[in-house]
A and B are shown apart, each in its own frame.
Chain A
Amino acid sequence: MARAVVTVPAQAKRGEIVEIKTLAAHAMETGFRRTQLGELVPRDIIRRFTCTYNGVEVYRVDLHPAVAANPLIAFTTTATETGTLSFQWVGDNGYSVTEIAAIRVE
């Protein structure tokens, strides 16, 4: 089940700044909404997004309930070497999704 999508250029020049877009399928329930019976819907959100480049953390985001459903995170990184970019989303109720993308650096 594709629960996350990432867009990474397949190849880049050494030192080039590449743009990365990530999208995770998640309702991001805030914990402030109520049902028709007035009960609070418990919070269920993604807490943390991490991007690692060949095992080194390059970008990390802490998310709060104010992030919209299906969180989009677009950022940049410097293409240093050929390898893999790993993206991880971790959240409430044991939510954890990892996505991997390869990048070739010339």
Chain B
Amino acid sequence: MTTRREFLVLAAASLAAPTAAKAQLDPNLAAKRKAAYEEALGKVVGGARVRAGRVKLLLPPLIDNGNSVPLSVAVESPMTAADHVKAIHVLTQRNPLPDVVSVHLGPRAGRAGISTRVRLADTQTVVAIAELSDGTFWSDSAEVVVTLSACLEEGLI
């Protein structure tokens, strides 16, 4: 036979369980994403100094739909064998994963750049980093406001 005390414990547990399952958003999400971004940035630059300039990151400042955002990066470089852009990395600070695209190119690209379409989960800062053949890193960032986030269209499928 169930005592009153056992019944209360069970009732409390059954009430607590769904709330725990519902709480999907981690309270430390912002800190975790910042850490993930720092880690991704560290992987790209490896402790080298990143200077602002030479890179132009183009993004619309206000985005209605984060599922498809036109993004283009252009890097000022003569693109010769002696002086060219080796790689371009695009990182975000508040997407579930910080990496967006990594471009590997060489002097045969003619101009250093890429145009593509990306997903953005939140209002945030997007960063483009270019790695030059002389080992220096240059970057540009763009702040965007996203009204409809990507990655959150639950129940649509």
Contacts and interface: CB of A to CB of B under 8 A. Distances in A.
B118 A68 contact: yes
Interface residues on B, range: 35 or more
Interface in A10-56: 17-18, 30, 32-36, 41, 53, 56
Main secondary structure of the interface of A (DSSP, over half): strand
B102 A61 contact: yes
Contact of A34 (B105, B119, B154): B154
A53 B104 CA distance: 15
Interface stretch (A1-9, A76-84, A86-94, A98-106): A76-84
Contact of A74 (B96, B97, B116): B116
Given A74-B114, A75-B113, A75-B114, A67 B119 contact: yes
B118 A33 contact: no
Nearest to A18: B110
B133 to A, nearest CB: 15
B115 A60 contact: no
Contacts of B101: 61-64, 66-67
A77 B118 CA distance: 22
B108 A56 contact: yes
Interface of A: 17-18, 30, 32-36, 41, 53, 56, 58-69, 71-78, 80
26 contacts: A18-B110, A30-B96, A30-B150, A32-B151, A33-B153, A36-B155, A56-B108, A59-B105, A59-B109, A61-B114, A66-B95, A66-B120, A68-B67, A69-B67, A69-B68, A71-B116, A72-B115, A72-B116, A73-B114, A73-B115, A75-B103, A75-B105, A76-B111, A77-B108, A77-B109, A78-B107
